[in-house]
Amino acid sequence: MIFSLVFRVAARLLVPVLLVFSVFMLLRGHNHPGGGFVGGLVAASAFVLYALAAGVHNAQTILRTDPRTLLGAGLAFAYGAGLLALATETAFLKGLWLDVHLPLLGDLHLGSTLLFDIGVMLVVVGTVLLMIFSVEDRLPGLVED
């Protein structure tokens, strides 16, 4: 293995922290800096870090799905957000809002923009990981498994 044991252990500890932080950035993005694009970059960087530490095959294993599937699901989510607006006879991708009361979380103000941001996040993660995993497939030995 190219990297030290310390790097491999640190990567294993940082991956869950980065994934939680990416969800935080996704949810924060409506009113503050962040959103689906930044959240997707942080999530993809977690898997890239793990690929550098443990090998691309192991990173693909913990991802549990093909990056192309993430890309397609993200496009479907984003397109679905637009179709919701069309279903209510408004403009494509117009934001729709729903107030929901949940016993443990309280009052939530949910919108179709969150669905769009989740789609953007999945597209970014899928695209970045598809590029990284493809580069490693073409250059075997870049990071040894």
Structural domain contains residue 77? yes
The Cα 53–Cα 109 span in angstroms is 40
**Considering the entire predicted model, what is its pTM?**
0.85
Q: How many domains does the chain have?
A: 1
H-helix or E-strand spanning residue 101: strand 97-102
What residues form DSSP beta bridges with 100? 108
Structural domain contains residue 143? no
Q: What is the pLDDT of residues 58-95, one digit of tens each?
A: 999 999 999 999 999 999 999 999 999 888 888 888 88
The Cα 70–Cα 72 span in angstroms is 5
Structural domain contains residue 64? yes
The Cα 55–Cα 145 span in angstroms is 4
Distance of CA 13 to the CA centre of its chain: 18
Q: What is the pLDDT of residues 98-130, one digit of tens each?
A: 888 878 878 877 888 889 999 999 999 999 999
Structural domain contains residue 145? no
Structural domain of 65: 5-138
